Amino acid sequence: MEQSEQNVAAKTELPKPTALEQAAPQDVSGTPGRPIFDVRNVSVWYSAFKAVTDVSMTIHENEITAFIGSSGSGKTTVLRAFNRMNDLVPGARVEGEMHYRGTPLYGKDVSPIAVRRRIGMVFQKPNPFRKSIYDNVAYGPRINGERNRRKLDEIVERSLRRAALWDEVKNRLKSSGLALSGGQAQRLCIARTIAVEPDVVLMDEPASALDPIATGAIEDLMRELKKQYTIIIVTHNMQQATRVSDRTAFFSVLTDSKNDTRTGVLIEYGSTRQIFEDPQDSRTQAYVTGRMG
């Protein structure tokens, strides 16, 4: 995978793994390539608007899966279906089947809270809480019942190290998370997400608000994180998809001129190399070669 100059520069900032980091629980790491999500004929509605129609795909463990496609093609909607974030939108509902490690995500007894504790999310705009850097990272462990001061210190340090932010903030953990730059704030949000030891990290255009250097840092981080987590990323940046992802899903907008409706559909899904070098669908080809969208 190609590496831009900025990425190399940012890479040198990555801290060496410490004893602490190596002592981290490894139970979440699985076998690369094993299916983790099974999506069958999923459609998502916002009230009467069908945002995405009939998506079927399999997401694989310890891989980075990229969702690409133009605006309105439903990438983010599908992403948010994976950890039931759409439940928070009034009028939203999901049809079809989504299985996570064999359990139906939208099953009757499944709690969205429990789902989100296993499947974390990083947003487009860095959204640290109005709390100190320390409290931002400790928030997740705390709501999971962790009260032990020493354990929290440990989790905070480990998460910040993994998010490649520790060296920049270790001397000001008590200062506000809002005082960080955009790239640092986004890495803080990643640290906050991995502090609860999730199984999957969903990322919704995590670098779109960042400059190239910060973007490079986030991408390096993703490659590092996929050893332990399964990552799904929505991106508008096709170079980013080719740089970081193992598989790519291309979404597009389907317009029905007769009923004047439009909806997002999954056009093609395969290995990133195949999608970009040998797309099977003409629409995919048009998009990845820049002739459309």
Partner 1 sequence: MSSVTQADPAKQAGSASPLTRRRPLGDRGFQILALASGLLVLVILVLIAVSTTQQSTDWFSKAGVKGIFSTDWDPATNHFGAMAFVYGTVITSVIAIIIAVPVSVAVALLLTEVVPRRWARPIVYLIDLLAVVPSVVWGLWGILVFAPWIQSSVYSHIASAVNGIPLLGSLFGPPVSGASFFTAGIILAVMITPIVTSLSREVIATVPVIDKEGAYALGATRWEMIRGAVWPHSQNGVVGAVLLGLGRAMGETIAAALVIGSSATVTSRLFATGYSMPAVIANQFPEAAGEWRAALIGMGVLLFALTIIVNLAARGIVERSTRRMRGA
Residues in the site for partner 1, rule: CB under 8 A?
A: 83, 85, 88, 90, 113-118, 120-121, 123, 125, 127-132, 139-140, 143-144, 175-180, 189, 192-193, 196
Q: Which is nearer to partner 1, 123 or 262 (CB)?
A: 123
Beta carbons within 8 Å of 179's beta carbon, 6+ residues apart: none
| Minimum gap (Å) between residue 117 Cβ and partner 1 | 3
Q: Which is nearer to partner 1, 116 or 161 (CB)?
A: 116
Q: Which is nearer to partner 1, 121 or 225 (CB)?
A: 121
Structure tokens at 232: 């799904």
| Minimum gap (Å) between residue 164 Cβ and partner 1 | 20
Of 120, 143, 158, 170, residue with least CA distance to 25? 158
Length of the chain measured in residues? 293
CA geometry: angle at 88 spanning 83 and 91, to 5°?
115
Q: Which is nearer to partner 1, 20 or 114 (CB)?
A: 114
- How far from each other are the two terminal CA atoms of the chain, in whole angstroms? 25
| Minimum gap (Å) between residue 102 Cβ and partner 1 | 20
| Minimum gap (Å) between residue 147 Cβ and partner 1 | 14
**Can you say how many angstroms the Cα of residue 41 is from the centroid of all Cα atoms in its chain?**
22
Q: Cβ distance 161 to 116 under 8 Å?
A: no
| Minimum gap (Å) between residue 178 Cβ and partner 1 | 6
Residue 45 φ/ψ, nearest 5 degrees: -110, 140
| Minimum gap (Å) between residue 73 Cβ and partner 1 | 21
Q: Which is nearer to partner 1, 134 or 269 (CB)?
A: 134
Determine the Cα–Cα distance for residues 195 and 137; give it in Å rounded to an integer. 6
Check the CA dihedral 209-210-212-214 and report its sign: negative
Structure tokens at 274: 């195949």
Q: Which is nearer to partner 1, 178 or 254 (CB)?
A: 178
Determine the Cα–Cα distance for residues 218 and 211; give it in Å rounded to an integer. 11
| Minimum gap (Å) between residue 268 Cβ and partner 1 | 28
Q: Which is nearer to partner 1, 14 or 209 (CB)?
A: 209
